[in-house]
Amino acid sequence: MGGGRTRRMPRAERERQMLDAAVQIIARHGYAAASMDEIAELAGVSKPLVYLYLNSKDDLFTACIRREAAALTRAVRAAVRSALPADRRLWAGVLAFFTYTAEHPDGWTVLHLQARTHGPRFAAEADAVRAEMTAFVTRLIATAARESPHSRDLPARETEGLAVALIGAAESLADWTNTIPAATAVQAATTLMNFAWSGLGDLMSGEQWTEPVGA
51 sits near its own copies (criterion: CB under 8 A) = no
- Cβ nearer to its own copies, comparing 63 with 126: 126
Considering only residues 73 to 92 of the shown chain, the ones binding its own copies according to CB under 8 A are 87-88, 91-92
Q: Of the candidates 30, 38, 42, 44, which one interacts with its own copies according to CB under 8 A?
A: 30
> Looking at beta carbons only, is 125 or 171 nearer to its own copies?
171
On whether the CB atoms of residues 140 and 118 are closer than 8 A, the answer is no
Residues 35, 30: Cα–Cα separation, whole Å: 10
What minimum distance in Å lies between the beta carbon of 27 and its own copies?
A: 10
Q: How many binding residues for its own copies (CB under 8 A)?
A: 55
Alpha helices (H) along 81-208: 86-103, 105-112, 120-147, 156-177, 185-204
Of the candidate spans 8-16, 29-37, 42-50, 57-65, the one that interacts with its own copies by CB under 8 A turns out to be 29-37
Least distance from C-beta 125 to its own copies, angstroms? 15
C-alpha pair distances (Å), 211 with each of 41, 186, 207, 208, 215: 57, 33, 13, 9, 7
Going by C-alpha positions, the residue among 101, 43, 41 that lies closest to residue 69 is: 101
Residue 132 near its own copies by CB under 8 A:
no
Q: Could you give the CA distance from residue 42 to residue 37 in angstroms, rounded to a whole number?
A: 9
Q: Which are the contacts of 88, defined by CB distance < 8 A and separation ≥ 6?
A: 82
Please identify, using beta-carbon distances, which residue of 105 and 201 lies nearer to its own copies: 201
Q: Tell me the Ramachandran region of residue 153: left when phi exceeds 0, alpha when psi lies from -120 to 50, beta otherwise.
A: beta
Binding status of residue 171 toward its own copies by CB under 8 A: yes
Site membership for its own copies, residue 153 (CB under 8 A): no
Interface with its own copies includes 198 (CB under 8 A)? Answer: yes
The amino acid present at 108, given as its one-letter code, is W
Is 103 an interacting residue with respect to its own copies (CB under 8 A)?
Answer: no
- Which region among 52-60, 100-108, 143-151, 183-191 touches its own copies (by CB under 8 A)? 183-191
Q: Are 189 and 167 in contact (CB under 8 A)?
A: no
Residue ranges that bind its own copies, judged by CB under 8 A = 29-33, 87-88, 91-92, 95, 113-114, 116-119, 158, 160-162, 164-173, 175-176, 186-188, 190-203, 207-209, 211-212, 215
